[in-house]
Amino acid sequence: MRTLITGGAGFIGSHLCERFLAEGHEVICVDNFITGNPANLDHLRGNEAYSTRFTFIRHDISHPLEIDGPLDNILHFASPASPVDYLRHPIPTLKVGSLGTHNTLGLAKLKKARYLLASTSEVYGDPQQHPQTEDYWGNVNPIGVRGVYDEAKRFAEAMTMAYHRFHNVNTHICRIFNTYGPRMRLDDGRVLPNFMGQALRGEPLTVYGDGSQTRSFCYVDDLIEGIVRLLFTDFHEPVNLGNPNEISIRDFAKEILEISGSQSPIVFKPLPQDDPKVRRPDITRARQLLGWEPKVDRHEGLRRTLNYFQQKIRGN
């Protein structure tokens, strides 16, 4: 199979490249490095599959892309994903969610390829239903600072369903909930790299607000398994993929101090605008449709990720 992955030099995208190469696919990775890093693909070098079945194209997918030959699968993962990143790049975020989605759907139509959109729990905004099921329409502020990401992804979902309904493209939508693991950027501003970097450097852990807001963290290997299963179904409606194990941000900070053995203090900083107060996926649909649920518990996932950041900080 020939599989194109946009955003393949990012955190999740790099794990997808690795997985599809391991499954024997020819992988075409497209990225413009706006938030990604060529080093995320370094571990693939030296692997025989890399020289024979891997192609990298440096390209901004908000502009059309032509690919020679057939394509079996397209996974559209290009987009800044950390709030700090998308606040820094508001217009590229809107463009990659809208124009980038349109371009990749056009390519999927042309090549009769399977298509999978990386959507997000942010389509639920600051949710008034808890936990979130796929039939909840969400509570998003379109003109707030996070609107550039949330509305781009909501548009992307609408465009994906239109290509399915109108052009009969074999589309899939996964709504990803906070995912973490090796190859996240230490400085991407998300809570886990922030807390781990701070704990390892002996700096204070910065909890925003009073830390009572909740998130539910999924280890990347579990997510990748869910994505691969979803791609090969005939199901076209959105599917939540995430770990339902919910924790407050204050307790998460304590957990990271405990796992790292750090003596860093916790300090409280202002809560960013429109920060969702709760978030937890209802994964009934993924369980029934894919026979999928997360396997890596948070303690184990955090340990593996801490190990990765330790090596990064030591410069290995």
List the catalytic residues: 149
Q: How far is the CB of 224 from ligand UDP (least distance, A)?
A: 19
Which of 7, 127, 182, 301 contacts ligand NAD by CB under 6 A?
A: 7
In the list ligand NAD, ligand UDP, none, the entry touching 146 (Cβ below 5 to 8 angstroms by class) is none
Site membership for ligand NAD, residue 245 (CB under 6 A): no
Q: What angle do CA 17, 20, 22 make, to 5 degrees?
A: 105
Site membership for ligand NAD, residue 211 (CB under 6 A): no
Residues that bind ligand UDP (CB under 6 A): 82-83, 178, 190-191, 194, 206-208, 213, 215, 249, 271-272, 275
* Distance of alpha carbon 87 from alpha carbon 315, whole angstroms: 28
Indicate the SS3 state at residue 47: coil
Can you read off the two tokens belonging to residue 91? 């217009």
* Distance of alpha carbon 210 from alpha carbon 275, whole angstroms: 12
Site membership for ligand NAD, residue 78 (CB under 6 A): yes
CB count within 10 Å of CB 308 equals: 16
Residues paired with residue 74 on neighbouring β-strands, in sequence order: 4, 115
Indicate the SS3 state at residue 105: helix
Contacts for 311 with CB less than 8 Å, ≥ 6 apart: none
Which of 2, 44, 80, 169 contacts ligand NAD by CB under 6 A?
A: 80
* Distance of alpha carbon 44 from alpha carbon 287, whole angstroms: 31
Total binding residues for ligand NAD by CB under 6 A?
A: 31
Residue 136: closest CA among 118, 154, 155: 154
Q: 30 or 176, CB closer to ligand UDP?
A: 176
Q: Among the candidate windows 29-37, 41-49, 260-268, 284-292, which touches ligand NAD by CB under 6 A?
A: 29-37
Q: 145 or 162, CB closer to ligand UDP?
A: 145
* Distance of alpha carbon 134 from alpha carbon 236, whole angstroms: 12
Q: How far is the CB of 266 from ligand NAD (least distance, A)?
A: 23
Q: How far is the CB of 83 from ligand UDP (least distance, A)?
A: 5
**Residue matched to tokens 């101090």:** 257
Task: Please report, as ranges, the residues that interact with ligand NAD according to CB under 6 A.
Answer: 6-7, 9-13, 30-36, 60-62, 77-81, 85, 92, 96, 100, 118, 120, 176, 178-179
